Amino acid sequence: MNANPETKVDLEMQPWKKSSVRTGIRRAPWHGLIGMAIATSLAASTGCSLSKGESGAYFERFSGREAVESQLTGEALAQQKYSMRRLRRDLASFRLTLEQLRRHGKDAGIDRFELFVRPYLETRVDTLVDTDDSQFHPELRPFRAELLLSKGVLMHELDDRRAVRQTIDRLERDFASMTSMLVLYPTGEAVTLEQGIALLRQQTGEI
Amino acid sequence: MMQQLFQKRNPNTKHPRRRTSRWLVLAAIASGSTALAASAEDARWSDYLDHAYVYSAADADDLRDLIRRAENTVGTPLSEYHAETWAARPSLAQVTSELEIRRKAIAELVLYRTGDLPNGLELAATTIETLADRLDRHENRYWFNTIHAHQALAAGDASAFVDEILALWLAVITPLEVPFETYRTLALTENGNAGFVRTLPHLYESVARLILVHSQSEALDGDIDPLTAIVRVLADERVGADPETVPVEASSKAFLDHVVARLDGPESDGGSLSYTLALVSAERAHQLARARLAEDGFSDAAIAAVRDSVAAYQRAMRRANTLQGQVAIYTRALRQQSEVFATGERTKSAIELDIPFSIDRGIELYEALHAARAGGWERLGYLDQGRDAYVSAMQGLWSELQDATFNASRYYMSLESEAGKIDDEAIVHAINHYSRYLHAFQRFAGDATGESLPDSAYFGAYQAARGIGDGVLFFSAGDASPEQISEAIRQYQTALGYFPFDRALWGTLAVALQRSGREADFLAVAQPMASRVVHSRHLDRWIGNQSAKADVLEKFRRAFANDRSLVYFGFADETRIGALEAEFARLAKERETIARSIASTRVERDELNERRREAHRLAAQVSGETEVPAPPRVAASGRSPESFAIEKLANELDRLDSRGERLDIRIQAIEEALPIYKATLGQDDLIRELAVRRDHPVHALLRRIAEEVGIAKVVPSKVAPTESAAARNLQDWIGGQAR
């Protein structure tokens, strides 16, 4: 299948033994290091950044990055959709964990997890939803709304009523003209955004 | 050629085609082709250390194996390399390069994990701490958190472990994910200068192993539930999602998926990761113990494996927060108890193992589940999985209670004294196990919804009642008191009430009745039980629908409908069916003989009658009696010899007729009942099948029949000896052939 014999062998060179994860599957032999051959050849460049060129260059610099991304809009869009979808699922996993910790009455666990969730939301969710709407591809808007809905539910799980209210306000303000847009509520139901906001209000008691 | 060289270096390699060999060969080629300024030796170990994110989370044995092979390739042990490169320098200040500090920390971590540097973990932590001001670099941060996570594991500090993993995810994984996706879209993860970003699939794998594997191999006995979110996220298109980097079959994906499925499954503990990992680990230990018991009996290794498994279940029990979780553990622990008792019975060895999971406690758990069936079962832990999971857990626990009970009882009944007799104390243990089961069964059976107990519990009730009866009869070397025999009879009746298709048990019941001088009561005792079968609507439908074993059940129903064949159930010796048939033939022959005698006697009598009439006619002619009307006779003349002979023949005919009639009854009874009884012979497979298959469809029928009658009616009241018509018939039918 793969014409490159080195690459083919590389795929077999894994240190993870199947048996070592104790799935009940028979013990497989040691697989070797992953991509060690390739990795070794790349070793010299590991951790290096792209060359920035000479500082005293004659030519005025024009970054080609934006141009490349604009040419790859389709792929970039697909990637962003993929990332946002996965982020939404991650938030669902966080919500479920918080809910289960709460059911077990594990307050220490909730506190510990909160220390993780809040900065996570700041770095992953807030940076996305704070981006100027004009920079958003229209197809990404439902995902953005869904992330806010997920954040609202998470904040409710963290008992942060102020953050819940802020999130609802944000949804109503940013998407005032798009309330009929179809979105996935964090519980997995497909609803209009208006219904989603109503559900969020109902769930969080912010009626 | 390199491969040949490698094989020469490793003459003890059992699998020359192992992929590891190929890896080492390629690694050697690759490192040889790398033009590095430093010496070849340094370059090799530095390469290995720079790429330690690939292998550092491997199991200790695998890691040790890898490092040994790498040492063969490099030509210098890692510990030696570490000592020569860094240990000679008195302080880290002399290790100026950030890269070198990181390599040193990694080397110390690896050497600690391989066992080559016992204090390696502390050294690694100290070394990596010097990069505390350089944690902005993801690679530094990764090793910083990884080393501290290992420290937390070594210290058994679950909270610190959780903190390190969450910090690693937040500070290393999260920032790398978006650029990784971008680079991957542009195919830069394989071909470009993507730096540490491209290691992300390995980091996923390593984090998964730290949480799932190392936490258990280090016996971390604390709460790591906040990491449930990370485990779920890892399972979501992360671990195993990049097969070109980490092939799925070589990754921990299968195990990860298994754990996530268990988190959400019916045997979860409200989604607790700590519990799930502990239980999965205990199951693994259990599997090992099971294999050892099966192969070696109670060898030292098997006993040690069972103890490990029990300890693991205890650890899981400490992590269980809900009844749901406790029930899942008990269900397995009771299974293990069954296996231990079965091994004791099989090997005829005394069990010298203390298993702190009791059947009594199992029944208490069952009772708690049962009490919530009308409401509140969700709060026991089954909120997410629903009522089906609750019912399934309740029935599953009962099944294990049943198996553990019967295996324990059979084990006790298999214990023999030095004289080869069953020890009375062991019999008492067996009876107590059976009694406890039967008592519990009668408490919980009869639920209108039919969901409290598994269908097989009804067959279990039969087994328990029969076991008690047998135990009582075996007590005191078989010299049971009248009260004990009465109890055995009552238990056999109970057993037959739940499962009337055990032909041999009817015979045992008859023997018990005989021992108490009540054989004449057999029909009085048997008829009500047989009648329930004959008139069962469920059985009728079952047979009508040609459901499982309908042919066998129909044979029994026909037999139960016939009192005479029912008597055969009690008193016929199935090993002597030939004798019964010979007796039937003898009776038939005797009847023929009698018929012939009757016929010949009648002929003789008729001839004598004829002769007498002729003699009278002639006498009348000679005396002229026929011409003058005879005067009234005052006295009868003397009787002729013919008259006496005729009277004698008449008596003989009467006797023959009576004997013939009686024979007719016996012949008719045997002719009718024997084939019906014979049809039920050779159907004992049903009992074996029901005993080994909990899901046998006939279990459902047994439940329905019992419910149709009502559990209370299945259990007999004490029957007073009565002299009934049936009893009289019994003596007639069996013709003195009772055993």
Query: Which residue on chain A is closest to B161 by alpha carbon?
Result: A112
CB crowding A81-90: b at 16 or more within 10 Å, else e: eebbebbbbb
Q: Is the pLDDT of residue B382 over 80?
A: yes
Supply the pLDDT for residue B188: 66
**Dihedral of the CA atoms B405, B410, B411, B416 (nearest 10)?**
150
What residues of B are in contact with residue A112 (Cβ under 8 Å)?
159, 162-163, 166, 226
Environment class of B720 (CB within 10 Å of its CB; exposed 0-12, middle 13-18, buried 19+): exposed
pLDDT band at B368; cut points 50, 70, 90: very high
The letter for the amino acid at B109 is L
Identify which of B205, B196, B208 has the alpha carbon closest to the alpha carbon of residue B171: B196
Same-domain check for residues A95 and A185: yes
Q: What is the pLDDT of residues B398-451, one digit of tens each?
A: 999 999 999 999 999 988 777 777 788 889 999 999 999 999 999 999 777 778
Supply the pLDDT for residue B93: 57
pLDDT band at B48; cut points 50, 70, 90: very high
**Dihedral of the CA atoms B466, B467, B470, B472 (nearest 10)?**
-110
Q: Return residues 164-193 of B near A (CB < 8 Å).
A: 166-167, 169-170, 174-175, 177-178, 181-182, 185-186, 190, 193
Q: Is the pLDDT of residue B341 over 70?
A: yes
Q: Is the pLDDT of residue A25 over 70?
A: no
The letter for the amino acid at B696 is H
Same-domain check for residues A87 and A20: no
Q: What is the pLDDT of residues B134-163, one digit of tens each?
A: 999 999 999 999 999 999 999 999 999 999
* Highest averaged pLDDT of the listed ranges B198-212, B421-435, B668-682: B198-212
A188 touches chain B (CB under 8 A): no
Nearest to B182 among A13, A17, A79 (CB): A79
Does B166 contact A15 at a Cβ distance shorter than 8 Å? Answer: no
H runs (alpha helix) in B446-562: 456-474, 482-498, 503-515, 522-534, 537-544, 550-560
Q: Is the pLDDT of residue A134 over 70?
A: no
Bridge partner list, A183: A191
Supply the pLDDT for residue B8: 32
The letter for the amino acid at B542 is W
Backbone torsion region of residue B297, taken as left when φ is above 0, otherwise alpha when ψ lies between -120 and 50, otherwise beta? left
DSSP string, B105-135: HHHHHHHHHHTS-TTHHHHHHHHHHTTGGGT
The answer to whether B668 touches B420, Cβ cutoff 8 Å, is no
pLDDT band at B299; cut points 50, 70, 90: very high
**Dihedral of the CA atoms B663, B665, B669, B670 (nearest 10)?**
10
What residues of A are in contact with residue B26 (Cβ under 8 Å)?
6, 9-10, 13, 32, 36-37
Same-domain check for residues A21 and A117: no
A123 touches chain B (CB under 8 A): yes
Q: Is the pLDDT of residue B603 over 70?
A: yes
DSSP string, B174-228: HHHHHHHHHHHHTTHHHHS--GGGGGHHHHHHHHHHIIIIIHHHTT--S--GGGH
Supply the pLDDT for residue A16: 41
B33 touches chain A (CB under 8 A): yes
A12 touches chain B (CB under 8 A): yes
Same-domain check for residues A15 and A85: no
Nearest to B178 among A13, A20, A83 (CB): A83
Q: Which domain holds residue A195?
A: 75-204
Of B24-38, B381-395, B398-412, B597-611, the one with minimum mean pLDDT is: B24-38
Q: Is the pLDDT of residue B293 over 60?
A: yes
Identify which of B339, B488, B476, B478 has the alpha carbon closest to the alpha carbon of residue B400: B339
Same-domain check for residues A80 and A25: no
- Please check whether residue A35 lies inside any domain of the structure: yes
**Dihedral of the CA atoms B256, B261, B263, B267 (nearest 10)?**
-130
CB crowding A177-186: b at 16 or more within 10 Å, else e: eeeeeebbbb
pLDDT band at B1; cut points 50, 70, 90: very low
Supply the pLDDT for residue B190: 63
Q: Is the pLDDT of residue B619 over 70?
A: yes
Give the ipTM: 0.73
A41 touches chain B (CB under 8 A): yes
Nearest to B65 among A18, A30, A109 (CB): A30
% of chain A with per-residue pLDDT over 90: 42
Mean pLDDT of B467-474: 90
Q: How far apart are CA B280 and CA B212, in angstroms?
A: 10
More confident residue, A61 or B215: B215
What percent helix, strand, coil does chain A show, rounded to 5?
65, 5, 35
Give the gap in angstroms from C-alpha B406 to the nearest C-alpha of chain A.
29
A3 touches chain B (CB under 8 A): no
A10 touches chain B (CB under 8 A): yes
Does B181 contact A109 at a Cβ distance shorter than 8 Å? Answer: no
- Please check whether residue A52 lies inside any domain of the structure: no
Same-domain check for residues A104 and A13: no
3-class SS of residue B527 = helix
User: What's the mean pLDDT when you consider all of chain B?
Assistant: 84
Identify which of B536, B552, B461 has the alpha carbon closest to the alpha carbon of residue B501: B552
Same-domain check for residues A23 and A95: no
User: Long-range CB contacts (< 8 A, 24+ apart) of B583-586?
Assistant: B583/B670, B583/B735, B583/B737, B584/B667, B584/B670, B584/B671, B584/B674
Does B174 contact A17 at a Cβ distance shorter than 8 Å? Answer: no
Same-domain check for residues A31 and A82: no
Nearest to A9 among B26, B195, B232 (CB): B26
User: Torsions phi, psi of B496, nearest 5?
Assistant: -70, -25
CA separation, residue B289 to residues A97, A199, B303, B422 (Å)? 33, 51, 8, 29
Quote the tokens at residue B702. 């047994």
3-class SS of residue A182 = strand
Mean pLDDT of A39-52: 33
% of chain B with per-residue pLDDT over 90: 53
Supply the pLDDT for residue A199: 94
Quote the tokens at residue B338. 């069954």
Of B25-39, B254-268, B363-377, the one with minimum mean pLDDT is: B25-39
Same-domain check for residues A18 and A84: no
B223 touches chain A (CB under 8 A): yes
DSSP symbol at B299 = -
Determine which of B3, B10, B17, B19 to mutate to test the interface with A (most A C-beta atoms within 10 Å): B19
Same-domain check for residues A80 and A20: no
CA separation, residue B170 to residues A117, B79, B82 (Å)? 9, 33, 31
Bridge partner list, B422: B416
Q: Is the pLDDT of residue B706 over 60?
A: yes
Of A121-125, B609-613, B675-679, the one with minimum mean pLDDT is: B675-679
Same-domain check for residues A113 and A35: no
Q: Residue B395: CB partners within 8 Å, gap ≥ 6?
A: B451, B452, B453, B454
Determine which of A11, A18, A21 to mutate to test the interface with B (most B C-beta atoms within 10 Å): A21
**Dihedral of the CA atoms B59, B64, B66, B71 (nearest 10)?**
160
- Please check whether residue A44 lies inside any domain of the structure: no
% of chain B with per-residue pLDDT over 70: 85
Residues in chain A: 207
Same-domain check for residues A135 and A184: yes
Of A58-72, B187-201, B349-363, the one with minimum mean pLDDT is: A58-72
Element (DSSP H or E) covering residue B25: helix B19-33
pLDDT band at B584; cut points 50, 70, 90: confident
User: What's the mean pLDDT when you consider all of chain A?
Assistant: 72
- Please check whether residue A183 lies inside any domain of the structure: yes
Identify which of A102, A97, A114 has the alpha carbon closest to the alpha carbon of residue B225: A97
Q: Residue B3: CB partners within 8 Å, gap ≥ 6?
A: B21, B22, B25
- Please check whether residue A154 lies inside any domain of the structure: yes
Tell me how far apart the 2 most distant CA atoms of chain A are, in Å.
66
- Please check whether residue A60 lies inside any domain of the structure: no
Nearest to A109 among B31, B225, B249 (CB): B225
Q: How far apart are CA B122 and CA B124, in angstroms?
A: 5
Determine which of B100, B190, B193 to mutate to test the interface with A (most A C-beta atoms within 10 Å): B193
- Please check whether residue A63 lies inside any domain of the structure: no
- Please check whether residue A65 lies inside any domain of the structure: no
Count of the separate structural domains present in chain A: 2
Q: How many CA atoms lie within 13 A of B664 on its CB side?
A: 8
